[in-house]
Amino acid sequence: MIIKEKGQLLLDYINRYVPLTEEEEQILLSKIGYRTYLKGQFVVQQGDICKYECFVLSGCTKTFYMDGEGQEHIVMFSIEDWWTADMGSFITQTPADYNVQCLEKTELIMFSYDIIEDLYAAIPKLERFFRLIIQNAFVASQKRIIRSFSLSAKERYVYFRNQYPKIEQRIPQYMIASYLGITKEFLSKIKSELIVEQ
C-alpha cells in the first residue's frame, strides 16, 4: 500500500483519461507498489522477465538494448509522468530485450503482472485507460520510425532538442547520440555546426 500523497500524482494522471470514483481510487492504491531506485540501478535487465509496468513519479530512466558487439542503443528516456518497462517482455512474460536503468534517484509506482488482471477485473475502466495510453505510445513510436528514415541526423537532433528540452539538460550528450542513432563524435560535430549557423 502506497501513501496517499505519492499516489495522488498517478491518480491525477489517470483522471485525465478516465474519471475514477473514490472507491476505485482506494482499490487502485491498494494494489500498486512503490519503490525508489538509486542512480545506476536497474529496474529491468535484458534476459530477465519484466514483472512490472512502472509509472515515474520522479527521476529519470533510460531504456536500452545491448547489441551483439556490446553497443548500447537507447530506445527511450522516461521522466516524471511517463511510463517505463519492457512492454514486450511484460505482456508475453518472456525474457526482456531491453535494460531499464536509472540515471538519477528515481521513484516509481509499479503495476505487477500478477495483480494487473485483478485490477482490470475490479476497475474495468482501466482497460480503457491503458488502451488510450498505449495508443498514444504507438503513434509516437510510428512517428519516430518515419523520422529515422526521412530526417538527417542534424534534423533529428534539432527535433529532439525542441521536443524534449527538459530531458536534454539532464542527460549526458553521449546518451542523446545513442538515442538519435549516431556516434557521440558526430553529435559533437553537429552541435558545433549549429553554433556556427546561428
Partner DNA sequence: ATAAAAAGTTAAACTAGATTAATATGATTT
Partner DNA sequence: AAATCATATTAATCTAGTTTAACTTTTTAT
Which strands sit side by side in the sheet containing 83-84, from one edge to the other?
Answer: 33-37, 106-112, 52-58, 83-84
Contact 94, 52 (CB under 8 A): no
- Grid coordinates representing 35? 519503490
148's contact among DNA, a second copy, none, with CB below 5 to 8 A by partner kind, is: a second copy
Q: Which residues contact 14 (CB under 8 A, 6 or more apart)?
A: 20, 28, 126, 129
144's contact among DNA, a second copy, none, with CB below 5 to 8 A by partner kind, is: a second copy
Residue with Cβ nearer a second copy (11 or 75):
75
One residue of 30, 88, 170, 188 binding a second copy per CB under 8 A: 88
Residue with Cβ nearer a second copy (2 or 54):
54
Q: What are phi and psi of 28, to 5 degrees?
A: -55, -50
Q: Is residue 183 involved in binding DNA (CB under 7 A)?
A: yes
192's contact among DNA, a second copy, none, with CB below 5 to 8 A by partner kind, is: DNA
One residue of 130, 167, 176, 187 binding a second copy per CB under 8 A: 130
One residue of 73, 140, 152, 194 binding DNA per CB under 7 A: 152
Sign of CA dihedral 145, 166, 6, 39: positive
Nearest of 111, 103, 30 to residue 61 by alpha carbon: 103
Report d(CA 3, CA 172) in Å as an integer.
33
Quick one: which segment of 37-45, 87-95, 107-115, 183-191 binds a second copy (CB under 8 A)?
87-95
Size of the site for DNA (CB under 7 A): 17
Residue ranges binding DNA (CB under 7 A): 152-154, 172-174, 181-189, 191-192
